[in-house]
Structures are given as structure tokens and as C-alpha cells.
Amino acid sequence: MTQTIGQPDRTALTFDQAYVKHWRNVTFGGELRRWARRWPGRTAVVDPGARLTFHQLDAQADLVAAGFARLGLARGDRVVVQLPNGADFVLAWFGLQRLGAVPVHAMPAHRRDEITHLAAASGARALVVADRQGRFDLRAMAEEVCADLRTRGLTEPMVVVVGEPGRHIGFTDLRAAGPPPQPVSPAQPVPGHRPTLRLVPVERADPDDPAGPAPGDLALLLISGGTTGRPKLIPRSHTDYDLNVRLGVRAAGMDESTVYLAVLPAGFNFTLACPGVLGALSVGGTVVMAPDPSPATAFDLIEAEGVTHTALTPALVPHWLDEARFRPQALATVRVVQVGGARLPDETARTAGPALGATIQQVYGMAEGLVCYTALDDPIELVTTTQGRPGCPDDELLVVRPGTTEPAQQGELLVRGPYTLRAYYNGPQPDSSFTADGFYRTGDEVRRLPGGHVVVVGRVKDQINRGGEKYAAVEVEEHLLQLPGVGAAAIVAVPDPDWGDAAVAVLVHDGPAPTVRALAAYLRGRGLAAYKAPQRVHLLPRMPLTAVGKVDKQALRALLTP
Ligand code: J2J
């Protein structure tokens, strides 16, 4: 039976009664309270400069929440968070959860253009950034973001800085009890502000946080890889995200003895909740935050902290294999290495387990919801050639001819389930990303084995997946079209042995081709993340078109792939 909940300012969301049994009446603020009561003295979070017990994490999250409240933030307010892996990420995240405010998960690689978009699309009232990233000054970037939003007449967020705040609000001051810090820009009402956005019908308060948000409320906004333009915002509620975490805990075999190393950005769905940071904390385990993704740093931390679980993208695996050749003993405590975010080549999957002395778990997930895992005791053949099975028995998977709902042996994967979104945040209605009956079109080309394992064979969406970092081709194409002399532009993914995809910029251009370096500099100047720069440039006298006049990417791919 399906039931529809009306949304005053959104299209109705439909959900299935069958899902209710999977959902718990919890919020992340209440969860942290319970964890702290159960394991007060255990180590929750470690980074090179901090070591917090569950009790300390809980108490400090209260201070952070109070600090945000003094700035004028309230339940339902969106806050763009762009922080490196560290205890401060966890503190900021739980502080916002306590308040019922909603973190919008930016990635560390994002730059002015992406952050401005995330702030605008979410109507963010604050931005939490680090002072700098290497030589790059994120405070200056935040100021440019604010100026841009101001010019467009949009909400100008307050800027909170972890590290040296400059003329902004210091995260350390925010946490200190005492008189309220002065916001640099006054808190402004946000047009269209909605205190609650019920995604799942769990309305009873969490008993451990009775004054907090409802479990069905919006808890966080993740970002989509993007297929048709800029990244879209993915609404996740406390309830559905809690389920996401629990399914991951079960699949990855986490328990009180778990020590999870966060190598990939903590704001990435995989790292945070599959089962990741939240999973480890939820069972009384410890989270170790790697300040950089290098194998050298990771191996040091593994040895020092006795890491049992971690998660990598396929692009990182060869580097770990190199390091493991020299320091195999460093990995003695590691039990499970999850790999996901892009297709892991079968051959790498085969060699990685023995070389790392750990069980490899393939994870095929998406910020939109569905996460598949190979089981820890799956036969090696399945672990090395498939991307696992869905985490929940009520995940409904359909394989269809792309763009249709006609069943196919191999085709586009559609999914519907108790932790998969039904609409993007403020998304268009109707939205071609969903079928009429609520299935999300993943844009991934898959086939399924008789036992239910999913094999990802390709992609029907026009997206580049550069070692797990994704972007819509059109996002870069739009910038390339603004270049003088460019008559037509296409970004085409071709196979790359190390990164999964290499992006080729195909240009119809008057005069000599711009170099890869020139394009990278140009896109950087436009405020784009570095991973969106193409790896090759290819000039053509004219762009091949399909019968309906679109750029024929298949023809281009055939032309570019020997
Ligand atoms: C092939 N493609 C994969 C895999 C993701 C866990 C793990 C990853 C993500 C993630 C995530 C893949 N093999 N093993 O959110 O919880 C590609 C698919 C998919 C898209 C989603 C998680 N694992 N992919 O990568 O939202 O194309 O999530 O649709 O960033 O990554 O990207 P994203």
C-alpha cells in the first residue's frame, strides 16, 4: 500500500508502508546523546591534533549548537560545510544536528563556482570553511562567494572559519561558552525558509532529544554527481540516513572494536554513512581522520591507531598496493577495505585482498540512496567481479532499457526504497530523474546475477567519473563555450587505466587548439574545482550530431577511443 504525504510547497512524496518497519524514531542529535551515555570514556574521534571521547564529543556538540544558535541559526537553516577531515568536521556536523540545522556537504576540492551554487541552491545562512587548504585561502573564496550572492540579491551567508578566522567568525570562539560572538553580516531571513521538511513520516520526537528536530525532518543535503547541469541537492532525513548507516554497519561487520580510518572526504556519503564515520560511532567504535589521502599518512595512522576498517576509491588502491609492498606489517590490524565510488577493475580487486591482507568489500552506492555491498563472506569470484547486493530487502531494483521502464537483461538501473530519495531538494516537477511511480533513474548501466548481485557495466548518464569525483559534462561544456573562438564544445569520457575516466575536451575552434594547461587555468579562473579540468583536447572541423541535433557523444567516444 502506498500513502502520500502532501507538501505545501513541493510535490507530494510517496512512500510505501512496508518501509515503516525499517525506520527508527531517532535523530543524529539524540543518537550522539545515547552513544555518549553508553560509552562515555571510549575514544570517538582522533585526528593529528585532537582526541575526543564520546562524552567530550557530546558536550562539545552542545557548545557548537549553542554557538550557532547565538549567531541566529535555527532549526531547518541550511549551512554549507566545507571542511577537511578532522575532529572539527565531526563537531560542526553534530553541532548542526543538535540544532536541527542542515549541513550541505561541499567537497574539499570545490571552489567558488561550486560553493556559490550550493549556497544559492540551498539558501544557506552560513558557510563553514577551513582557513586555508595548502596555499589556497578559503576565507578569500568565501568572501567572493558572499559577494557573488549579494550581487544576485540572494541570502548572504555568515562565514565561520576553522583555523585562523581573519575578519570572520572563528569556530573556536563559537564553541567557547560566553557572550555571543558578533556575526559579521546580520542574520537575514531566508526567502522560502521552511522550518521542517518531512521526508518520511516519522514525526514523534527522539526521546533523547525531545526539543530537537523530528526524525522525519531534513537532516542533511548531499550533492549529486550531476548529469544535466550543476549538482543537485539530495534531501536526507534523520530516519532514512539512520537506516543507511545501520545497513552499512551490518554489511561491513562493524562493532565496538572497530577503528575506522576516514581517508576520503568525510562529507562524502560513502565515508560518512556507508557505514563510515557514523557507522563506527554508532557501535562505540573510533573514527580516525586522515588529514590527507596519501598512503604514507594512512599507513602511519593505521599503525598508530590499530585501524580495522577503511574506504577507498579504486584510484587509490594501486597506491596502497605500492605502499603495502614496503610496509606490509603496517596493515596488520586491517580487516575490511571497502572500495567504491567508481568501478574497481576485476584484476585489481583480485590482487588487492591478499596484498593488503584484508577482506575487500565492493561498495556501489549513491548519495541519492541505494548502497550495494559485497558480503564479507561472499565467494572471491563475486567479490572481484560484482558490486554487491542492495543493503535492504525493500530496495526495489529494476533493470530497464535506458530512458524507458521496459525490462532488460542489461540496462539502466532504477531504484526505489526506504532510504532512496523521491525528489531532489527544490527539484523540478516533474523530474525526468524519476519514473511516474517514484523510481530513481541511476543513469548506471548494470546487469544482475541470479543471486541478486549487481554488476556495473557502464553508464548512460552524461557524466565524468574521475576516480570517484563526478561532474556533469554539460557543466564544463558551458564554460568552454564562452571561450573566444570556440564554436562548439563537448566533454567526452574515455577510459583511463588509473582514474576510470579521462575527460577529452572536443572543440570546434578557430585557430590553434588551446592546451590542456590553458584550459585548466581558464576553468580554475572561472571558479571550478580542479578535477573538472579535461585531460586532453581534440579539435574537430565540425561536431557530429545525432538525428535530433544533439552532440553525438557515442560517435565522439568511438573516434577518441582507439
Ligand atoms: C561503479 N560505479 C560506482 C562502484 C559508485 C558508497 C559508495 C560510493 C558512493 C558514490 C556512495 C560505484 N562501481 N562500486 O554514495 O554511499 C558511481 C555510479 C553511481 C555514482 C554515485 C556510497 N560506486 N559508482 O560514489 O553519489 O555511477 O556516490 O551512480 O558520489 O557513482 O556517485 P556518488
ipTM associated with this complex: 0.99
pTM value is 0.94
Cα 345 to ligand 1 centre (Å): 14
Residue located nearest, by CA, to atom 7 of ligand 1: 365
Q: How far apart are CA 73 and CA 92, in angstroms?
A: 13
Question: For cell 591507531, what's the residue?
Answer: 305
Pocket-forming residues, ligand 1, beta carbon under 6 Å: 225, 269-270, 274, 340-343, 362-367, 371, 387, 442, 444, 456, 459, 465, 468, 470
Q: How far apart are CA 282 and CA 278, in angstroms?
A: 6
pLDDT band at 247 (very low <50, low <70, confident <90, very high): very high
Residues with Cβ < 8 Å from 54, sequence gap 6 or more? Answer: 32, 35, 36, 38, 39, 40, 41, 42, 44, 281, 284
548 φ/ψ angles, rounded to the nearest 5 degrees: -95, 10
Q: Which atom of ligand 1 is nearest to the CA of 339?
A: 14
Residue located nearest, by CA, to atom 19 of ligand 1: 366
79 three-state secondary structure: strand
pLDDT band at 178 (very low <50, low <70, confident <90, very high): low
Residue ranges per structural domain of the chain: 55-237, 293-459, 463-560
Cα 338 to ligand 1 centre (Å): 12
Write the single-letter amino acid at 40.
Answer: P
Assess whether the region 55-237 and the region 463-560 belong to the same CATH fold.
no
Q: Identify the CA nearest to 201 among candidates 366, 332, 25, 453.
A: 25
Please say if the pLDDT value at position 324 is more than 50. yes
Measured CA to CA in angstroms, residue 195 lies from 7, 78, 101, 119, 219 at distances of 13, 10, 9, 17, 12
pLDDT band at 184 (very low <50, low <70, confident <90, very high): very low
Q: Identify the CA nearest to 250 among candidates 388, 65, 76.
A: 388
Query: pLDDT higher for 318 or 2?
Result: 318
**pLDDT score, position 204:** 83
Residues with Cβ < 8 Å from 15, sequence gap 6 or more? Answer: 2, 3, 5, 200, 201, 418, 422
Q: How far apart are CA 148 and CA 132, in angstroms?
A: 20
395 three-state secondary structure: coil
Cα 529 to ligand 1 centre (Å): 19
Cα 2 to ligand 1 centre (Å): 28
Pairing mode, strands 102-105 and 396-400:
unpaired
Please say if the pLDDT value at position 541 is more than 70. yes
Residue located nearest, by CA, to atom 27 of ligand 1: 444
Please say if the pLDDT value at position 535 is more than 80. yes
Cα 372 to ligand 1 centre (Å): 9
Q: Which atom of ligand 1 is nearest to the CA of 222?
A: 26
Q: Long-range contacts made by residues 53-61, C-beta under 8 angstroms, separation at least 24?
A: 54/281, 54/284, 57/32, 57/90, 57/91, 57/94, 58/32, 58/33, 60/91, 60/95, 60/175, 61/29, 61/32, 61/91, 61/94, 61/95, 61/97, 61/98
- What is the second-level CATH architecture of the domain 55-237? 3-Layer(aba) Sandwich (3.40)
Cα 26 to ligand 1 centre (Å): 26
| DSSP character at residue 438 | S
Q: Which atom of ligand 1 is nearest to the CA of 338?
A: 7
The predicted-structure confidence for 543-562, as pLDDT tens digits, reads as follows 999 888 889 999 999 999 97
> Which helix (H) or strand (E) covers residue 259, if one does?
strand 259-262
Q: Which atom of ligand 1 is nearest to the CA of 248?
A: 16
Cα 340 to ligand 1 centre (Å): 6
**pLDDT score, position 192:** 47
**pLDDT score, position 513:** 87
**pLDDT score, position 5:** 37
260 three-state secondary structure: strand
Q: Which atom of ligand 1 is nearest to the CA of 442?
A: 29
Residue located nearest, by CA, to atom 15 of ligand 1: 366
Q: Which atom of ligand 1 is nearest to the CA of 470?
A: 30
In three-state form (DSSP H/G/I as H, E/B as E, the rest C), the secondary structure along 135-202 is: CEEHHHHHHHHHHHHHHCCCCCCEEEEECCCCCCEEHHHHHCCCCCCCCCCCCCCCCCCCCCCCCCCC
Please say if the pLDDT value at position 502 is more than 80. yes
Please say if the pLDDT value at position 246 is more than 60. yes
Pocket test for ligand 1, best of 278, 312, 366, 444 (most atoms within 8 A of CB): 366
Q: Are the beta carbons of 150 and 177 closer than 8 angstroms?
A: no
231 three-state secondary structure: coil
Q: Which atom of ligand 1 is nearest to the CA of 371?
A: 16
Residue located nearest, by CA, to atom 20 of ligand 1: 366
Domain spanning 463-560: which superfamily? ANL, C-terminal domain (3.30.300.30)
Cα 156 to ligand 1 centre (Å): 32
| DSSP character at residue 401 | S
Q: Which atom of ligand 1 is nearest to the CA of 372?
A: 6
Q: Is the peptide bond before 295 cis (omega within 30 degrees of 0)?
A: no
Measured CA to CA in angstroms, residue 348 lies from 174, 264, 313, 383, 501 at distances of 46, 19, 12, 11, 16
**pLDDT score, position 18:** 81
Query: What beta strand segments (E) does 332-462 contain?
Result: 336-340, 359-366, 369-373, 389-390, 396-400, 410-416, 440-448, 454-459
Pocket test for ligand 1, best of 107, 236, 364, 446 (most atoms within 8 A of CB): 364
Cα 366 to ligand 1 centre (Å): 5
For residue 505, the cross-strand partners are 491, 537
Cα 531 to ligand 1 centre (Å): 17
The predicted-structure confidence for 383-402, as pLDDT tens digits, reads as follows 999 999 999 999 999 999 99
69 exposed, middle or buried (CB, 10 Å; 0-12, 13-18, 19+)? Answer: middle
The fold of the 293-459 domain, in CATH, is: Rossmann fold (3.40.50)
> Which helix (H) or strand (E) covers residue 221, if one does?
strand 218-223
Pick the range with the lowest mean pLDDT from 120-134, 185-199, 300-314, 428-442.
185-199
Cα 465 to ligand 1 centre (Å): 9
Please say if the pLDDT value at position 218 is more than 50. yes
For residue 365, the cross-strand partners are 371
Q: Which atom of ligand 1 is nearest to the CA of 273?
A: 16
| DSSP character at residue 212 | S
Cα 137 to ligand 1 centre (Å): 30
Q: How far apart are CA 317 and CA 323, in angstroms?
A: 10
Write the single-letter amino acid at 374.
Answer: T
Residue located nearest, by CA, to atom 2 of ligand 1: 342
Q: Which atom of ligand 1 is nearest to the CA of 224?
A: 26
Cα 180 to ligand 1 centre (Å): 41
**pLDDT score, position 136:** 97
Q: Which atom of ligand 1 is nearest to the CA of 223?
A: 26
Cα 422 to ligand 1 centre (Å): 18
Pick the range with the lowest mean pLDDT from 232-246, 296-310, 542-556.
542-556
Query: pLDDT higher for 194 or 427?
Result: 427
Residue located nearest, by CA, to atom 3 of ligand 1: 342
DSSP H stretches of helix in 465-548 = 473-480, 516-525
pLDDT band at 199 (very low <50, low <70, confident <90, very high): confident
Q: Which atom of ligand 1 is nearest to the CA of 468?
A: 25
Pairing mode, strands 2-7 and 10-16:
antiparallel
Cα 126 to ligand 1 centre (Å): 28
Residues with Cβ < 8 Å from 438, sequence gap 6 or more? Answer: 14, 416, 422
Please say if the pLDDT value at position 197 is more than 70. no
Residue located nearest, by CA, to atom 21 of ligand 1: 366
CB atoms closer than 10 angstroms to residue 112: 21
Please say if the pLDDT value at position 198 is more than 90. no
Pairing mode, strands 233-237 and 218-223:
antiparallel
Cα 342 to ligand 1 centre (Å): 6
Mean of the per-residue pLDDT values of the chain: 92
pLDDT band at 179 (very low <50, low <70, confident <90, very high): low
